[in-house]
Amino acid sequence: MIIISNSPEETVEIGRHIGRHLIKGLNVFICGELGAGKTTLIKGAASAFGIPERDITSATYTLIAGYESQTPFYHIDLYRLDDIKSIEEAGVFDCIGNGKAAAIEWAEKLAGYADGDIRVDIAYGNNDRRIIKIEGIDEKDWDYSPAW
Ligand SMILES: Nc1ncnc2c1ncn2[C@@H]1O[C@H](COP(=O)(O)OP(=O)(O)O)[C@@H](O)[C@H]1O
Ligand SMILES: [Mg+2]
């Protein structure tokens, strides 16, 4: 499924819909260049767990931010981890699977080592437009009717 976002607010909204699936204990692997909107999307996903958007940040040195919730939620940013050994040592694999929910930025780095239940790829379009490709959610389970 491909959804076009025209603003950060729309990307948050798309993230919110993905979050509704994550609360079942799934993970989302997010790919896309710097500034594509990965963190923005995760703000929406986190809101499904009752986490305020402002709590989700792209803090430079935070690799894993965990949030208590009925289903524990982890925001993982692999930007600063360059090889699979450092990813493993950081404890990333402990946050994936077993009924936990995780949203992972720079998931390209896990290719061949782990698979996402839901996979999102965000590409730049013109101006504020983003082309958001979503795999792992059936279109019929996407109760999102865009207003544009
Ligand atoms: N349609 C859009 N979706 C998401 N972000 C957008 C969009 N249009 C512009 N932006 C801007 O792009 C930037 C995305 O930043 P961020 O979510 O931190 O990206 P990433 O985590 O992929 O590096 C923000 O400054 C945001 O305001
Ligand atoms: Mg980010």
Task: Break the chain into its structural domains and give their ranges.
Answer: 2-127
Ligand nearest to the CA of 75: 2
Q: What is the pLDDT of residue 98?
A: 87
**Whether residue 15 has its Cβ less than 6 Å from ligand 1:** no
**Average pLDDT of the segment spanning 4-25:** 96
Q: Which of 54-63, 87-96, 103-112, 118-127 has the lowest mean pLDDT?
A: 54-63
Question: What stretches of 60-117 adopt beta strand conformation (E)?
Answer: 64-67, 73-77, 101-105
Check if 2 has its Cβ closer than 6 Å to any atom of ligand 1. Answer: no
- With a 6 Å cutoff on the Cβ, whether 32 touches ligand 1 is yes
Torsion of CA 36, 127, 57, 2, to 10 degrees: -50
Residue 140 predicted with pLDDT over 90: no
Q: Can you tell me whether residue 29 is helix, strand or coil?
A: strand
Q: Name the token pair of 98.
A: 């077993």
* Chain segment 41-100, per-residue pLDDT in tens: 999 999 999 999 999 998 777 899 999 999 999 999 999 998 999 999 999 999 998 889
- Alpha helices in the chain, H assignment, sequence order: 8-22, 38-47, 84-89
pLDDT interval class at 23 (50, 70, 90): very high
pLDDT at 146 over 60: no
Q: Which atom of ligand 1 is nearest to the CA of 5?
A: 1
Residue 69, ligand 1, Cβ within 6 A: no
φ, ψ for residue 62, nearest 5 deg: -90, 115
Q: Which CATH architecture has domain 2-127?
A: 3-Layer(aba) Sandwich (3.40)
Q: Which amino acid, one-letter code, is at 121?
A: D
